[in-house]
Structure 1
Amino acid sequence: MLAGRKQSIAPLSVEAQGATVETLLSSSEYREFAEEDFDPTQYATRVIQAPTDSPYHGLDITTSLAKLSFGIDHLNKHIQEQVSTHYEDLLQQVSGLSDIEGILASVKQGVHSLNTSLHRVRDKVLTPYQDMQDRTLQLERIQTTAEILRRLIRFMYLLRRLDVQLPGGERELPKAALTVCELIEIAQDPELDGIDIVDAEKPGVMQAKQKITTDGEELLHRGMAMQNQTDIAAGLQVFFNLNQLAAETKTVCDGMLHAITQEMQMALDPVAVNREIKESSPPRRNVGSPAAIVQAVTPVKLWTRVEHLMDVIYDNANKVYQMYRVLKRKKDSATHKLFADEVAEGLESDLLDYFWRGLSTSFERELRLGTKSSQGLLHEFQTGYPRLLRLVHNVFTRLSVANGADFSSDGQIPDSILVLQSLSPLETSYLSRSLSRLLEPINAAFPDRIGLAIRMPPSRDDVDKVIRTLGSELEAAKFDPHLLQAVARNASKAIKMYWTKCEQYCNVDANLQQIVTAGTATHGQLLVIESINCLWYMQDGVYKVLTEFSGSGLDDTFNEILKGISRALQGMVEPLFSQITREFESSILKIHKEDLASRFASPTRGQSESSTSQYVGEFASKVRWVHRELLSKLQCGDESREWIRSLGRRIVEYFLRHASLVRPADEGVGRLLASDMTHLEFVLSQWFAALGMKLDRDLGDSYKALRAFRHMPFLDIPQVTALRTSQNVPPSIIIHHLLARAHPHMPFPTLLYAWSEAQYSDWLDARSEDEALQILARCLDAYAAEIRQKGGVPRPEYNAAVQMLKEIAAEK
């Protein structure tokens, strides 16, 4: 009821009051008092202090108080107006308060009833809860006590078991270690602190642990020394049961590294080496004995110490490998985790990696200190680096045989890479000295002859020294693929320097290389010949040396060396043979200056005068001179014959080309050409016979074409075209002959393009056989066009040439 009355009255009152409040708040005089954070004290302070931004600035306190009093009176007046205006609503509000009091009384009675019920429920629940809480606490205490008692019983049981296991010897040692580990774990429980039985037994348990640890160490060391994996496994199991596997493994490994380091210090200590020499050397009777004896003994003593050091490294490394093999096989029976993985977690790396890293670090440090303090030690290790490297390889080879270690692709055990890296400074020095040794005989073979008028090429003895040095350096490094590769690179540099110097020796004035068939060969020509011989001898010697090292992974390097020598040799040979070829070609070109037709038709010439042309005699004299002065001095084995074979083929092919251009190609001129070819063949045969060669065997198809061309002027046209397949005569030669037969009716390329025979020949050298046939086809087309224009009949030579070109095109 009250709620209904409030709902009917409140909206009007609230609406009217809200409008009044808004009207008051809109006034600047009351806005500050309506703020939520209004503080009277701060307001009074501002009024008293009256800052410049305050409305009371410049007023005294009395005026401010009067202003406040006026505001209060204004508010009171406004309140009275509101009361007088809404008195009916206020009376209705007062009349509804009696109904609200009745409702409140009933609510209070209900709340009292609810509290009474709550007290009754709490009394029923609280007592059982407190009882259960007490019983639960008692149960927890009973369980805790029972657990402590159980641990005490277990502790006593383990003590009795330990008393039985300790006298059991090495067989019971792992079990005793497991028992002691559990006893220590129980004794360290904070809940058992202060229990007399536990405190009394703690010293005995620790003594048992110490004894088990000592016996386990002895068992482990004895197993590694005797290579007994059963003892090693038992020792490792002891420390695994003691939760000390990683720590003990690290201790054993560090002990081995310390022993090796001490041995390194002894082996690489120059003072100790000299002291040992003095102690072992007999007293000198002769005061003037040479000091070289001591210097000879020092390397022996040094290498003896190094060999002993390698034996120590092998012994300790073999022990580590034995232990590692056992760790890789054994695993935790509960978690099936390998012992090796647990050790790796404790060492933060693999056991073998930890050992070899520590050894390589110590080896590098001791080598650096030893060589820094003694120049003699440094010199001995630099010059004898292969021996040191061989000793290191021997260690890992023995380890691989004993433990089955795997080799990498370059023939090295992966573990050896760390140790070999510590030798890198010595390797660098050795390779530098090795390169110097390789370059020394080369520099001696090419002395600096500035100021001398005559330069001399290296002799065979100089080349032999280079080859012997090369073989010696490769032989010293062949046991190690990496070192052999490095030495091979040095050899490549040295040999490249050799052929570079040879090329420089051949760079003489071009005028000195001109071939003049009168007199003897010039010094420049002989220098080129000797340089070629020496470079070929070097190539042959290097090939024999490198053949001994084939299959060692250096085939690519060796092939590059041989290819480089071959390119250099070819670069020296080609200019010489090009000059010789030009001389021979200049004589053959004079065939076009011979008036063969006039010679054959002239009745005043005798048979002897007309049998041989002048150019053939000139060619023969040049061949004899070149053979005597130049080619007979080439001593390059089969390659000399190959060069001469290529020269002979070029001469024959060049002669056939220009002989086929001789016009007219009738029987009379053919007889003269046949005579010239017979003499040419005789000259070439004598030349080749002097070199142990034969024309038919060494010139092949070129010689057959020469023999066939001799009879070509006397054959019918079908027989001539058949020579292309029967005697391998080039088609361009046959078409030249057909054009020469039809002279002057069918044009030659020289006439069609206004070329000389030499220019046409140069054009043919720069083009292929197909391009030569194309230009000859243009000549035939020009002839055919002229015949069609005149309305004549083509000559049979034209028909034969066109038919042959068609056959060649069909074959392609």
Structure 2
Amino acid sequence: MSTTTTLIDLNSHSPSRSMASPGVLPPSSPLHRLSSFTSKSSGNVTATKSSTTAPTSSTSSPLDAFASDPIFSAFLSPSFSSSRFSSAALTSNSAASRAETLQEAIQTLDRHLRSEVLSRHSDLLSHLSSLRHAETSLSSLRSSVGSLGSSLKQINSSISEPRRTIRDHTVQISNLHSAAELLAAAGKMVRMCRKLRGVVGDENGYERNSKVDLAKAAEMHREIEVVYEEQGLNGISVVEEEFKWLSGIGNWLRSQAMDTVEKGMDESNQNDIWCGLQVFYNLGELRSTVDALVNKYKAIGVRSVSSALDMKAISAASMGGGYGPGGVQRSGTPQIGGGKRAGDALWERMAKCMEELHRIVTAVWQLQTVLSKKRVPFTQVLFLHEVWQEGDPLLTDRVWEALVKSFANQMKSALTASSFVKETFTSGYPKLSSMLENLLDRILRDTNVKGILPALTLEGKDQMVAATNVFQTAFLSQCLSRLSDYVNSIFPVSNRGSIPSKEQISRIVMRIQEEIEAVKLHGPLLVLVLRVISKVLFLLSERAEYQILTGPEARQVTGPVTPSQLKNLTLCQYLQEIHTRISTTVSALLTEHQEILSAPLGSIYGVACDSMTTLFQAMLDRLEACILKIHEQDFGVQGMDAAMDNNASNYMDDLQKSTIHFRTEFLSKLLSSSSRTETICSRLVRGMASRVLTFFIRHAALVRPLSESGKLRMARDMAELELAVGQNLFPVEQLGAPYRALRSFRPIIFLETAQFGNSPLLRDLPRSVILHHLYSRGSDELQSPLQRNKLTHLQYSLWLDSQGEDQIWKGIKVTLDDYEMKVNARGEELSPVHSLMLQMGSAMIESALR
């Protein structure tokens, strides 16, 4: 009791607590005695007083005090581990002391528990009395619940029998109602079947009216089926007999409608197609029927493509119906001797396949067209939307996609599986391409109806053409190989200067023409072949350019023609023939086709000119050198003897001899007297002749001084020049502007200076020529640009070649300004030629600006 009292005093602030010193437990308190551990060290026991004091507040629980106690706080820690605590106690030197201390702490806890129970004794007793009262109340409630349960059982037994009776009667009424509905529906179905029998003329079950309204019968058939399915009439014997007959009528209607649709598709009769489709729509089977039709025609097309390339069947047909000994070889090649017949059989089967594909596509297009025209009577929705959803491929697209896929697979398979088909289709690709083009054009033409989508799109057309690209590539490769090999054979790289024969040149031209002629009617293929020919012509021009010979032998023009020059002349003629004949062939083609060969033909033209460039430049240099000697001739001499001298000038005599020599040794081998068309060689000669006339007029204008006797000599020289050029080089009448300039310059030199301004002769002469000629009419003090810059006639001529009329006028204007300054400095009057030249120079500038 003393311990319990002490605990109560500690927790309730008894008077004994007030007697102790504040914050210190009484010495006799067990908590005080157990507030420290006793430890032994070095054999001595040292007592350590705990700093833990008893709680000073009545609201504090013992646990608060335990939390700060050195003994109990370890056990209250969340991280307390019994194993670690035991291990620490056993490893220390005071294990027995700790065990004694823990025993005392346990006793202290027991006392605290007893104290707690005693302090709450009255509360525990009150709770115990409340439990006893609750148990009494529960006993009385149990009896009341039992009484209520027995009452419910009595009520349940009283109402269950009426409920069962009501339920049974309700089921009977429902069954009677269902039976009445079944009887009514069965009667309705029998009556509808009887009515349908009258429509189809099948009263006796055997004969049917051939002119029956299939659409109406299909509509009645569908209504009967709906009644049968919705009312659940299966199992009724009378109904089953009628439904068996109804199924037969349905099959008959489908057969009749399908025959009508297919007949209309094959004969392009849209009315028949619509009549048949109306039957299937009334039967509720429009979508499935259309899908079946599309799949059927797809299958027919796929079988047709496969059959066309069946080498066993082709070989059997070529052997007269039997495979013969050995049949088709493993490589897909017919037997020896049967290649031509097999090839003919292959092309015949391909033609039939194209016809079948055309029939299939146009038939499906007819079906699609009817569906896109007709509408549902009540909703006005197109029948096409009953079988097709937005975003799905159209019927024709579905069929065409299957046909293209099958065709492409068969072509690819034939390329690898049958060397015979590969060779036939490669060499005869223009024929295969023609078949495809005809098929595609026929389909587009036959399905081109205003307001209706065609059966083919451009993409679909390209897909079918692309299916044969493997053979197209092989065909073009063979074409390129054939032509390139022949070009390499006649123009070998290893032997420079080797010129082919005329027959070889004719043969290469003929082969090119044959390649063009074979594909002339196939637009896309023609473009590809022309591109191949373009490569061949570039190769030909490259090889021909390699054969051109250069060096001193090719440049000499004073002696007879050398072997090198003869080879170059022959090469130029051959290239000219190639250019002329191929240009003639291409001229019959369209402009876009001609443009493909424009660059390679230009390359051949350029090589032909290059082969003669050295020779013609040497001849032209020789003729220009003869003309430059005009300045060595004295045209300023006066007197009757000079005027009456009819002999040609020395320079003109040299020029005439040179032209005769050129004609005899070179030009006669280039120009054909029988040719009336302008050729590469004739253009070269024409250019040289025009240059000679232009060069002569330029230097004749530069002659200074020019007396009246000199004018007569110059006129005779011009006549001799015209004769020499016309007879030995080129007809002067066909030279155009240079000839007109020569004809105008002759009277110009005799024209009075005052008449220059209004003379019509000036229109055919360059203003620079007239200005240079006017220097000869001025005083010696009026120097020409040639004299002022101290240039030779050749140097000044080269400068004139590189300048335009405006730059030439600037050089002339400087000399006129110098002359004007000198004369004005002396106070003298300017020559009339000065003002005329200024006037003509201003007009020349205005003309250049325009």
TM-score norm. by structure 1 comes to 0.73
Question: 2:388 is matched with which residue?
Answer: 344
Determine if the alignment matches structure 1 residue 536 to structure 2 residue 576: yes
Superposed counterparts of 1:161-172, under 5 Å: 161-165=192-196, 167=200, 171-172=212-213
2:772 pairs, out of 736, 740, 756, with: 736
Distance 1:62 1:477, change over 3 A: farther
Decide whether aligned partners of structure 1 residues 229 and 588 sit closer, same or farther in structure 2, where only a CA change above 3 A counts.
Answer: same
Q: How does 1:168-567 map to 2 (within 5 A)?
A: 171-185=212-226, 187-189=228-230, 206=247, 208-280=249-321, 293-345=337-389, 348-400=392-444, 402-404=446-448, 415-439=460-484, 441-444=486-489, 446-448=490-492, 450-451=494-495, 455-459=498-502, 461-506=503-548, 508-518=549-559, 520-550=560-590, 554-560=593-599, 562-567=601-606
How far apart are residue 442 of structure 1 and its match? 3.8
Whether contact under 8 Å (1:723, 1:729) holds in the other structure is no
SS in 1 for 2:547: helix
The secondary structure found in structure 1 opposite 2:703 is coil
In structure 2, the CA distance between the partners of 1:591 and 1:776, relative to structure 1 (3 Å rule), is same
Q: Give the conservation status (yes or no) of the 8 Å contact 1:162–1:176.
A: no
Q: 1:216 to 1:282 in 2, by over 3 A?
A: closer
What letter corresponds to residue 529 of structure 1 in structure 2?
Answer: L
CA contact (8 A) 1:721 1:734 kept: no
Segment of structure 1 superposing worse, 647-656 or 153-162: 153-162
* Contact 2:491–2:500 (CA under 8 A) maintained in structure 1: no
1:542-691 equivalences in 2 (<5 Å): 542-550=582-590, 554-560=593-599, 562-572=601-611, 576-597=615-636, 600=637, 611-632=647-668, 633-635=670-672, 637-639=677-679, 640-687=681-728
On the 8 A contact 1:269/1:370 being kept in 2, the answer is no
CA contact under 8 A between 1:539 and 1:562: conserved in structure 2?
Answer: yes
Conserved 8 A contact 1:442-1:498 = yes
CA contact (8 A) 2:316 2:323 kept: no
Give the 3-state SS of the residue equivalent to 1:368 in structure 2: helix
The one-character-per-residue Cα deviations of 1:195-247 (angstroms, maximum 9, x if unpaired) are 89878876665555444434433333344345443332222223333443333
- 2:734 maps to what in 1? 698
SS at match of 1:638: coil
One-letter code aligned to 1:505: Q
- The CA distance in 1 between the partners of 2:836 and 2:445, in whole Å, is 81
Distance 1:534 1:648, change over 3 A: same
Q: Deviations over 1:607-633 (max 9, x none)?
A: 998943322122111111222222232
Deviation at 1:471, TM superposition (A): 3.3
Looking at structure 2, the residues matched to 266 and 573 of structure 1 have their Cα atoms a distance apart, in angstroms, of 61
Residues 578 and 481 of structure 1, relative CA distance in 2, 3 Å threshold: same
Tell me the alpha carbon deviations over residues 549-594 of structure 1, each in whole angstroms, 9 at most, x when there is no partner: 337x635435555555555555556555433322211221222334
Q: 1:486 to 1:28 in 2, by over 3 A?
A: farther
Please report how far the alpha carbon of residue 768 of structure 1 lies from its aligned counterpart in structure 2 after TM superposition: 0.6
In 2, the alpha carbon distance for the partners of 1:412 and 1:560 equals 35
Distance 1:807 1:226, change over 3 A: closer
Shift of 1:776: 0.6
In the TM superposition, what whole-angstrom CA distance separates every residue of 1:94-140 from its partner, at most 9, and x where no partner exists?
xxxxxxxxxxxxxxxxxxxxxxxxxxxxxxxxxxxxxxxxx9xx99x
Mapped contact 1:24–1:30 kept (Cα < 8 A): no
* Structure-2 separation of matches of 1:796 and 1:746: 12
Provide the residue aligned with 2:188 in structure 1: 157
Question: Secondary structure of the equivalent of 2:388?
Answer: helix
Pick closer, same or farther for the CA change 1:529–1:205 going to 2, 3 Å.
Answer: same
Query: Contact conserved, 1:257 with 1:355, CA < 8 A, in 2?
Result: yes
Query: One-letter code of the match for 1:660?
Result: A
Identity of aligned residues (%): 23
- Is the contact between residue 189 and residue 239 of structure 2 (CA under 8 Å) also seen in structure 1? no
Question: How far off its partner does 1:356 sit?
Answer: 1.3
Q: Distance in 1 between matches of 2:531 and 2:403?
A: 30
Amino acid corresponding to residue 524 of structure 1 in structure 2: S
- Contact 1:148-1:192 within 8 A present in 2 as well: no
Cα pair 2:407 2:467 within 8 Å, conserved? yes
Deviations 1:481-536 (A, max 9, x none): 22222222222222333333333333x21423213222x22233333333332223
Q: Output the CA distance in 2 between the equivalents of 1:503 and 1:387.
A: 37
> 1: CA distance between counterparts of 2:797 and 2:578?
38
The 1-side partners of 2:610 and 2:66 are apart by 110
Cα distance in 1 between the residues matched to 2:192 and 2:249: 12
Q: Is the 8 A contact 1:512 1:525 kept in 2?
A: yes
Q: 1:268 to 1:146 in 2, by over 3 A?
A: same
Tell me how far apart the structure 2 counterparts of residues 246 and 676 of structure 1 sit (CA, whole Å): 99
Structure 2: runs of 5+ lacking an equivalent = 1-56, 68-74, 90-97, 121-165, 202-208, 326-333
Q: CA deviation at 1:801?
A: 2.0
If each structure's helix is expressed as a fraction of its own residues, which one has the higher value? 1
SS in 1 for 2:401: helix
Query: Quick check: which has more Rg, 1 or 2?
Result: 2
Residue range with higher mean Cα deviation, 557-566 or 482-491: 557-566
- Structure 1: tracts of 5 or more residues without a match: 1-22, 34-41, 80-134, 285-289
Task: Give the partner amino acid of 1:475.
Answer: E
- C-alpha separation between the residues in 2 aligned to 1:451 and 1:559? 29
CA contact (8 A) 1:665 1:737 kept: no
CA pair 69-571 structure 1, distance change in 2 beyond 3 A = farther
Q: Deviations over 1:16-48 (max 9, x none)?
A: xxxxxxx99999986999xxxxxxxx9698778
TM-score normalised by structure 2 residue count:
0.70
Shift in alpha-carbon separation, 1:360–1:781, aligned structure 2, 3 A: same
Partners of 2:572 and 2:609 within 8 A in 1: no
Moved more, 143-152 or 475-484: 143-152
**1:254-275: per-residue Cα shift (whole Å, max 9, x none)?**
3333334334433322223223
2-structure distance, mates of 1:144, 1:780: 135
Structure 2 SS opposite 1:543: helix
Q: Which moved more, 1:475-484 or 1:202-211?
A: 202-211
